[in-house]
Structure formats: structure tokens, C-alpha cells
């Protein structure tokens, strides 16, 4: 990675369309590494039609990218961290030398998120039950609490590191989760630029190298999963470590995609991160722009490498209910 930019998180942006939100962030990322739009070989993006309330909504964002002359472009209907994984694989295959990845999170557009979130569930058995947006997370948090792996005061302490509105007197929204345990939805955009080998060294004084990346998925059905652990996170981290030559436990900083307070201790345990600084950027508990949140985790971890703060970093992204799908990316600077 040679460049990263993001817009500030806001609870709602009603003044700008998708292209207007992402265009200045793309320009900032390109200017930071001295590239022009014509120098990018591949564009990849992530967004969610259900938040936008229309099909093929990402087409609007191409007004910011510029689709003429014809470009090589791809899109994922999920968090843009998976667009990043696609772009990284594309470069590994030798298809080009540069790629630009962007995510546009517009959680605020949904009039009723309880109508949106069940759409990602199994359409035959789970979606017809129409669980509210935080119900399955509450089930996972309850499983951890009953197993003695977390406590409510511990969850409050996690949130207090990112927000000031912690109140143990507030009512439960999905027991044992209270309002402060749930990341507030909102809007933001993020852009990452990747380059291969010598091109990366030319574009950045200190590139953040992707040493290992893997993602794993678990079954749709939470009733047949062990909700007290995250098997897919462990497997993704193990495979990424094989590629990188170092493990998650060796990193100095980790950016975790934690949309609920209970997910931080669960992921810290699954990844063995007891020695790493977790979410120094503020993390998703301070604001969650859906479909850009995971990409921001990768960008913030890369930033710590590129500015020389750290030598090794980890980024995590998740998609689906109750940590169903997890991506782990291990980053490092140039060997010294």
C-alpha cells in the first residue's frame, strides 16, 4: 500500500451523492502518491444496494472514478475490505502494477435498519423470522457472558476507550447489549492505493507491504456454530501467518472491525493480541460507516507502517451476522 485517505465519519450526509462523497477522497489518495487516475490499472469498490435502496447503486460512484476511456473495474456487494482482497490477488497474478480500492459507507440512508439487516440472512429459515438488527449479536454476547468469558463491566470498559456515552443504567437493546455497546451507524468513504514491487517503492517512501491475507466464512446458521469463539478468524489468521512468516501475536498494533463491544475481547483472544495496541485510530465503536468499516481498518493499520510508527500490524474485517465472515491482513514495512 502506498496511499490511504478517508473522509470524516458523520452520522448522516444528506447533501452529497455517492460520487460527491468519494471523489475528493480519491483525489486526496492519488495526490498523496503522485498518481493520476490514468495511472491506475484496476479499480475495486465495495458498497451495499440495500442501504442505498436501489440496485447497482455503485454505478453512481463511477462518476467519481471516471469510466471513460474504459477502465478495468470490479465491485463487491459487501465490505470493501473484500474489494481490497480482490485487488491484492489481481496484482499477485501480474495483471497490472497499480490498483485503487474504495468503499462508501452510507448506513444513514436506510429508513429502518431492522428491515435491511435481515436481508443478509438465509432466505428460507432465518430471514422470515425478521430478527432486529442487533438480535444475533445479542445472542453471541449472551453466549460469551454465560460462559464466563466476558462481563458487562468489561464491555463498558472497552467502550469507554472510544466513547464517553457509557451508562450501565441504560436499558438493554439486545441483552446483554446496551446502546453504548453498539457502534453508531453513519457515513464515510475510504480509499487505498496498492502497487507492486518497484512501483510501490517509487511511489512511497515507506510502503506498507501485505505479507499475508486470508478470509474464511462460517455457516449461516448461528445455532450450529460455537458462538463463544471465532473459528473463521483463527483459520484466516493461521493462513495469513503462514504466508507472512510471522503471526498475529507478533504485531505491535491491530485494527479490529468491532461493531459491538463484546467482539473486541473475543477477537483479541482468537488472534492472540494480548501485547498489541488495539484500535488506536478509535475503531468502529466510535462510528461505523457500513461497507467501508473494514477497509478503514486496513488503511489505519497501513498508516502506522507508512509513517514509521510500527514495523508490523494486523487488520481485521468482518461481514455477516455474529462474526460470520472474517478477513485477516498482516502488514509489515521493508526489512531493515
Within this chain, do residues 129 and 92 fall inside the same structural domain, yes or no? no
CA distance 187 to 303: 21
Within this chain, do residues 243 and 302 fall inside the same structural domain, yes or no? yes
CA distance 180 to 164: 9
Within this chain, do residues 260 and 221 fall inside the same structural domain, yes or no? yes
Q: Which residue has the higher pLDDT, 160 or 108?
A: 160
Within this chain, do residues 189 and 268 fall inside the same structural domain, yes or no? no
φ, ψ of residue 193 to 5 degrees: the values are -120, 130
Within this chain, do residues 56 and 129 fall inside the same structural domain, yes or no? no
Within this chain, do residues 309 and 177 fall inside the same structural domain, yes or no? no
pLDDT for res 28? 97
Within this chain, do residues 99 and 83 fall inside the same structural domain, yes or no? yes
Within this chain, do residues 125 and 140 fall inside the same structural domain, yes or no? yes
Per-residue pLDDT band for 69 (boundaries 50, 70, 90) equals confident
Q: Which of 124, 156, 155 is nearest to 141 (CA)?
A: 155
Within this chain, do residues 253 and 199 fall inside the same structural domain, yes or no? no
Within this chain, do residues 274 and 323 fall inside the same structural domain, yes or no? yes
Number of structural domains, the chain?
3
Last residue of a domain, one of 203, 237, 263: 203
| % of the chain with per-residue pLDDT over 70 | 100
Give the CATH number for residue 195: 3.40.47.10
Rounded to the nearest 10°, the torsion over CA 285, 287, 288, 293 is -90
Lowest-confidence pick of 20-24, 139-143, 177-181: 20-24
Within this chain, do residues 24 and 120 fall inside the same structural domain, yes or no? no
CA distance 149 to 141: 10
Angle at 286 between CA 285 and CA 290, to 5 degrees: 70
Give pLDDT tens digits for 277-336.
Answer: 999 999 999 999 999 999 999 999 999 999 999 999 999 999 999 999 999 999 999 875
Q: Which domain holds residue 33?
A: 3-111+184-203
pTM metric for this prediction: 0.96
pLDDT for res 336? 55
Within this chain, do residues 55 and 192 fall inside the same structural domain, yes or no? yes
Residue with cell 453513519: 186
Amino acid at each position: 500500500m502506498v496511499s490511504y485517505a478517508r473522509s470524516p465519519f458523520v452520522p448522516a450526509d444528506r447533501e452529497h451523492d455517492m460520487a460527491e462523497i468519494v471523489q475528493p477522497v480519491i483525489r486526496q489518495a492519488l495526490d498523496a502518491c503522485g498518481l493520476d487516475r490514468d495511472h491506475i490499472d484496476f479499480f475495486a469498490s465495495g458498497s451495499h444496494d440495500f442501504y442505498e435502496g436501489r440496485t447497482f447503486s455503485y454505478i453512481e460512484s463511477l462518476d467519481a472514478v471516471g469510466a471513460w476511456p474504459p477502465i478495468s473495474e470490479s465491485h463487491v456487494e459487501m465490505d470493501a475490505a473484500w474489494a481490497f482482497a480482490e485487488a491484492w490477488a489481481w496484482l499477485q497474478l501480474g495483471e497490472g502494477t497499480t490498483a485503487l480500492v474504495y468503499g462508501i459507507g452510507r448506513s444513514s440512508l436506510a429508513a429502518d435498519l431492522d428491515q435491511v439487516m435481515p436481508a443478509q440472512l438465509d432466505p428460507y429459515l432465518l430471514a422470515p423470522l425478521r430478527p432486529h438488527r442487533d438480535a444475533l449479536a445479542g445472542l453471541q454476547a449472551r453466549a460469551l457472558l454465560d460462559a464466563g468469558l466476558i462481563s458487562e463491566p468489561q464491555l463498558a470498559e472497552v467502550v469507554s476507550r472510544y466513547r464517553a456515552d457509557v451508562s450501565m443504567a441504560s436499558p438493554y437493546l439486545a441483552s446483554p447489549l446496551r446502546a453504548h455497546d453498539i457502534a453508531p451507524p453513519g457515513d464515510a468513504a475510504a480509499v487505498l492505493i496498492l502497487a507492486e514491487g518497484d512501483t510501490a517503492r517509487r511511489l512511497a517512501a515507506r510502503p506498507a507491504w501485505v505479507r499475508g491475507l486470508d478470509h474464511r466464512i462460517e455457516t449461516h446458521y448461528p445455532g450450529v456454530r460455537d458462538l463463544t469463539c471465532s473459528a473463521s478468524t483463527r483459520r484466516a489468521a493461521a493462513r495469513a501467518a503462514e504466508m507472512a512468516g510471522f503471526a498475529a501475536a507478533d504485531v505491535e498494533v491491530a485494527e479490529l472491525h468491532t461493531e459491538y463491544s463484546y467482539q473486541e475481547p473475543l477477537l483479541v483472544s482468537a488472534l492472540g493480541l494480548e501485547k498489541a495496541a488495539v484500535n488506536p485510530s478509535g475503531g468502529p465503536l466510535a462510528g461505523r460507516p457500513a461497507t467501508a468499516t473494514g477497509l478503514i481498518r486496513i488503511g489505519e493499520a497501513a498508516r502506522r507502517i507508512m509513517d514509521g510508527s510500527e514495523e508490523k500490524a494486523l487488520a481485521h474485517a468482518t461481514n455477516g451476522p455474529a462474526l460470520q465472515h472474517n478477513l485477516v491482513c498482516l502488514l509489515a514495512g521493508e526489512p531493515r
